[in-house]
Amino acid sequence: MRKSRGMTVAMAIACLFGPAPAAAGPLPPCATAAGTPEPVYGAPGDPPSVGVWSGLVLGFGGDCPEILNGPAGSVVAISGQFRHDGTLDDLVARAGAVSAIEGVRYWSVSAGDWRPLVTLSRALESPGSTQTRSDFSAAEVLAGRTLYLAQRDGRSHGLNVYSMTAHARDRDRLTLTTVNETGIRFLVATLFEPRSLISVVTVTRLDGDRWGYYGLLVAKNGAGRGREASLVNRAAAFQRYLTGQPSDGAPPLAP
């Protein structure tokens, strides 16, 4: 049964994204000041473009966080456009409202339905602390210091602690890096070792109220192999949350 499920997921990815992306690897906006990202932004109102790679050695420069670089078992990128007539601060405030993520849903490939992305999400007072606090304000996020949050994932065991660091190059671009600081476990197995699951999200004002969203999810050290469809759907759930869309209102990117 497990083998059949894995084959189904692999076939779903192949049907959705083709046998392999044409590009040798992703190119996030943090690595290119003015160039076109890879995958390219999907059109406004369309589903985001998706890229899936495995067995890469990443070496980004520019504004990309150093933790991205090195061997990566699985890499997922989603890239799209959205309309937003507010400011960058409005989007930053949404990123800082970590407790609101409890209402976000993603498509579970294994269960075949929409499930909560996390069942608990709270901001933490400091690294190593279990003391929760109110959500982070936009000013706190934009200050650039590393913030910490704890989440309980319905598919893992116990609380997972993440760090979140923002870099705003200007008032039209934000890069948000999230790293698992504790291991992510399911029953007795460790799915992701500490600091092996890295998310880098960049939102960029392209023109007027038209913004670009680029989400890069990197699983290091071979972690994530065979879970690419789940990574795609989880990345898409956060994309819909940050851009103000219903989390379960569109067909899943990886059914």
Q: What is the pLDDT of residue 6?
A: 35
Q: What are 141-169's pLDDT values in tens digits? A: 999 999 999 999 877 778 999 999 999 87
Q: What is the pLDDT of residue 106?
A: 95
Average pLDDT for residues 96-114, to the nearest whole number? 95
The CA–CA distances, whole Å, from 174 to 29, 81, 138, 142, 181 equal 10, 15, 12, 9, 22
CATH fold for the domain made of 2-242:
Alpha-D-Glucose-1,6-Bisphosphate; Chain A, domain 4 (3.30.530)
**Strand 105-108 relative to strand 70-83: parallel, antiparallel, unpaired?**
unpaired
For residue 102, the one-letter residue type is E
Average pLDDT for residues 226-234, to the nearest whole number? 92
Both tokens of 139, joined, read 């000013």
Q: What is the pLDDT of residue 121?
A: 97
Q: What is the pLDDT of residue 128?
A: 86
- 95 pLDDT higher than 80: yes
Residue 34 is given by DSSP the state S
Helices (H), the chain: 2-17, 88-96, 138-142, 228-242
Which range among 13-27, 30-44, 130-144, 203-217 shows the weakest confidence by mean pLDDT? 13-27
- 136 pLDDT higher than 60: yes
- 82 pLDDT higher than 50: yes
The per-residue b/e assignment along 34-67, b for 16 or more CB within 10 angstroms, e otherwise, is: eeebbbebbeeeeebbbbbbbebebebeebbeeb
Picking from 25, 16, 24, 50, the residue whose alpha carbon sits closest to that of residue 214 is 50
Strands (E), the chain: 49-58, 70-83, 105-108, 113-116, 120-124, 132-133, 147-152, 159-170, 173-180, 184-186, 189-192, 197-207, 210-220
pLDDT grade for 20, boundaries at 50, 70 and 90: very low
The full set of domain ranges for the chain reads: 2-242
Q: What is the pLDDT of residue 132?
A: 98
pLDDT grade for 214, boundaries at 50, 70 and 90: very high
Q: What is the pLDDT of residue 239?
A: 97
Average pLDDT for residues 203-230, to the nearest whole number? 91
Chain centroid, CA 144 distance in Å? 19
Q: What is the pLDDT of residue 222?
A: 66
pLDDT grade for 11, boundaries at 50, 70 and 90: very low
Residue 29: helix, strand or coil by DSSP?
A: helix
- 186 pLDDT higher than 90: no
- Cα–Cα distance measured from residue 182 to residue 53, given in angstroms and rounded to the nearest whole number: 25
Q: How crowded is the C-beta side of 72, counted as CA atoms within 13 Å? A: 25
Please enumerate in sequence order all residues whose Cβ is within 8 A of that of 14, keeping only pairs 6 or more positions apart, or say none: none
pTM (2 d.p.)? 0.90
Q: What is the pLDDT of residue 178?
A: 98
Identify whether the C-beta of residue 21 lies closer than 8 Å to the C-beta of residue 39: yes
- 92 pLDDT higher than 90: yes
Which range among 10-19, 133-142, 210-219, 220-229 shows the weakest confidence by mean pLDDT? 10-19
- Cα–Cα distance measured from residue 205 to residue 222, given in angstroms and rounded to the nearest whole number: 34
